[in-house]
Chain A
Amino acid sequence: MTVLGQIVLLTGKDLRIELRTRQTVGLVITLGLLIVTVLGLGLAPEGKLGGYAAPAVLWVAYLFGGVLIFEKTMDKERRDGAMAGLMMAPIDRGVIFLAKLLSNLALLGFLAVVIALFAIVLFGLDLSAAPGGFAGVMAMSLLGFAAVGTLFSALTSSTRLSGGLLAMLVFPIAIPLVIASTSVLNRLFASKPAAGDDGTFLTALGVLVAFDVVFLVVSWLIFEVVLEP
């Protein structure tokens, strides 16, 4: 079986389990909707979520939902020693990382779409100025976030402090990603860009790309070191 085949096989296994149980999706969607509702009502009592607050609210939901996704999907591997079974298989450990990254990304993407639609319907979030740009920036951002989350969930899942520890590790590392992502989105949706905004926009875009590349490569390389049965 090719490496691609192995990745597809393992990602398919994760998604099949999720489709069958709907445990993770149900939990993170509920959490995400609650976060957006609470923050939306607080920041936009008149019912219109926009400006700088909109991407920030979305990101809070993605961060907390994401950490829950990373924990839950890795927990399924740890339970009953399934990860040990994978580690004994004649496959590169990087394949396990990439497959887990893809399944986390799929769940994160689903969360992002549902939350964005919810914000549009309930709080009048207006993405009509650059819907493609929004999707592209979020896809890039979530890719980097998923790479960090997948790596650290493997690291922390073998410790007793896995729950709180994962959030404490992932959130600070995701700060540059969140700042860059919100900067790019604010520029995309600004009705009147200020002078110098283009430079900031390009810098933020560069940070997004660099974050993705660095964390994808580093996580892929060190995943086997942090992996424990």
Chain B
Amino acid sequence: MSVVLAASDTAKAPPPTRSLPAVQALEISKRIDGRPILQDVCIDIAKGRYVALLGANGAGKTTLMKLLSMLAPPSGGQLHLFGQRVTREGSPKLRARIGLIGHQPMLYGDLTARENLLLFGRLYGVSDVADRAEALLKRVDLAGRADDPVKAYSRGMTQRASIARALMHGPDLLLADEPFSGLDAPSNQMLEELLAELHRDGKTIVLAHHDIEQSLRVAEQAVVLRRGRVVVDRPTRQLDRETTLAEMTGQA
């Protein structure tokens, strides 16, 4: 009986959210000082997908992350996030759905980790901001140093604080640009588990990472950039380290 009811409930439910595009890039390009950094990039990322963004240094991964986080506008093409076309700076509602772990921690070094989380949490209108900050500080193993200024942290601790900041508002789309850099082995494992947890919760994750093996292991879909163009966009199960490396370097 319960099985029938469950099946019936499923039939009435709306289509799975995974089918909705979280990111849709239509021939987007980006030129910086006249130089083409991204060219005709087309990507479709369904909601709830875990995507690895791979590419050699200078392939355009960070620039693409900047466009996806609406920190920079594309020079051409169209970018849609959660079905909304992105304007120059993006609407505040759209920005509220995105979290970014970038190359820089995006934290105030003179404030403590807790103060930083409270500040950003309040800007995002997080209701239980103090509890949320406390929970995240524990999750990234910074509870014991939460009231120290961030500038007194090591590289790895700063990175963990940055991860907590990016997750403070519970973003639907998490953009993680080299989030493992500077982390020691336990922190690396903690972050890998945290990202997997977010993925299970239905969050969309775009991970730019230089470790091909780890990227292919954790993500479902891989997008490989070479000289600003997408050369591979397929499920990670269809790729291995050698093939991916060859695509990245153009020796496929």
Contact = CB atoms under 8 A, between A and B. Distances in A.
Contact of A91 (B102, B123, B165): B123
Nearest to B175: A88
Given A80-B109, A90-B125, 4 more contacts: A16-B111, A85-B165, A90-B96, A229-B72
Give the 5 A-B residue pairs with the shortest CB-CB distance, closest first: A81-B104, A85-B106, A90-B92, A90-B96, A89-B123
A84 B102 contact: yes
Nearest to A86: B123
Contacts of A20: 110
Nearest to A83: B106
Given A90-B95, A90-B124, A229-B66, A82 B107 contact: yes
A176 to B, nearest CB: 32
Interface residues of B, number: 31
A229 B89 CA distance: 11
Contacts of A84: 71, 100, 102, 104, 106
Given A17-B110, A88-B100, A224-B89, A9 B124 contact: no
Contact of A85 (B92, B107, B122): B107
Contacts of B104: 80-81, 84
B120 A89 contact: yes
A90 B93 contact: yes
Nearest to A85: B106
Contact of A21 (B70, B106, B110): B110
Interface string B102-117: 1111111111000100
Given A13-B111, A88-B69, A80 B124 contact: no
Contacts of A10: 123
Given A17-B108, A20-B110, A80-B105, A88 B72 contact: no
| Majority secondary structure of chain A interface residues (helix, strand, loop or mixed) | helix
Interface of B: 66, 69-72, 89, 92-93, 95-96, 98, 100, 102-111, 115, 119-120, 122-125, 150, 165
A187 interface: no
Interface in A66-99: 76, 79-82, 84-93
Contact of B92 (A17, A76, A86, A91): A91
A88 B107 contact: no
A79 B109 contact: yes
Contacts of B96: 89-90
A195 to B, nearest CB: 54
B66 A13 contact: no
A162 interface: no
A84 B101 CA distance: 11
A194 interface: no
Contacts of B107: 80, 82, 85
A93 B87 CA distance: 14
B82 to A, nearest CB: 14
A6 interface: yes
Nearest to A21: B110
A86 B92 CA distance: 11
Given A1-B122, A6-B123, A87 B109 contact: no
A154 to B, nearest CB: 14
Interface in A37-86: 76, 79-82, 84-86
27 contacts: A9-B122, A13-B108, A20-B110, A76-B108, A76-B110, A79-B109, A80-B104, A80-B105, A80-B107, A80-B108, A80-B109, A80-B150, A81-B102, A81-B103, A81-B104, A82-B107, A85-B106, A85-B107, A85-B165, A86-B123, A88-B70, A88-B100, A89-B120, A90-B96, A224-B89, A229-B66, A229-B72
Contacts of A82: 106-108
A89 B119 CA distance: 11
B92 A87 contact: no
Contacts of B92: 90-92
Contacts of A16: 111, 115
A91 B150 CA distance: 24
Contacts of B69: 88
B106 A80 contact: yes
Contacts of A87: 71, 89
Interface string A2-13: 000010011001
